[in-house]
Amino acid sequence: MPTFPPPAAFADLIRLAKLEDLGPASDDATSRICIPAKAQATGTVVQKQAGVVAGLPIVVDVCRAYDDALKVELLATDGEYSDARPKPLARIIGPYRSLLSAERVLLNFLQHLSGVATMANRFAREVQGTAAVVIDTRKTLPGYRALDKYAVLCGAGGNHRTGLYDMVLAKDNHLAAFAAGTLAQSVERVVAEAGELPVEIEVDTVEQFRDVLAVPGVDYILLDNMDNATMRRCVELRDASPNKPLLEASGKVNLTTIRGIAETGVDRISVGAITHSAPALDIGLDVVAQ
């Protein structure tokens, strides 16, 4: 299983979520009015929809941010698939008011991250038996990137670059501004300037692909919006070349098209929908007073 991100990757998200929910005075008016101050309760986080769970460790951090007296016991493991039968994921015991105050925030995290993991898993299952790996993109909500990429891994997907700082991905707009004669000469210059960073170059045609393939030091070639026949031809050219960059398919990828794309022989298929369009998984909190 992937390693859950460190608290520094999401501490600000929890803080902001708490602030917008409780306001500057940190007041849950409804719980304050309806729940006795010393009341205790047990809450069970329950998965109610078939899917892959992700983000359970953050339940501990959310509860700690609201009240150190809330004690959490995790009953499941991230990456587990469950069918539609209700499945207990975590048990929380402690002050009733604090439990209800934290409920929405912890469910928001779990529902979203489990939705991402489930979406990634649906795509990953479609390419089973091929050489292709389904990977995510940078299409994430601000602050959620580390968590979303973790959730993708929980769903058996893979990760693309983390941000603009850890890979050179030169697309047409970059290369147009960086022009140094022919396309091959521009790519040679990119590789030289990249240093230790991995290099990926976007191409739209077989002719462009040939030019980029001829340049040593390119780690990935992005096949942008190509049809399957064209991608298959690019795979053939790569396999016959002394240079062996990994090939990434991008554009027009959905659950209907992805199997055919994978069968062209590409190595990676990037899917923005995994993170930007994943529906929340149905997860709830059942609370019983002690």
Which residues are catalytic, by number?
Answer: 104, 139, 171, 202, 224
Distance CA 129, CA 126 (A): 9
Q: Which residues pair with residue 222 across a beta bridge?
A: 202, 248
Distance CA 2, CA 150 (A): 7
Query: Strands 87-95, 71-74: parallel, antiparallel or unpaired by DSSP?
Result: antiparallel
Distance CA 32, CA 35 (A): 6
**Tokens linked to 43:** 């809450």
Residue whose C-alpha is closest to residue 4's, from 149, 139, 162: 149
Cβ distance 81 to 116 under 8 Å? no
Query: Strands 220-224, 199-203: parallel, antiparallel or unpaired by DSSP?
Result: parallel
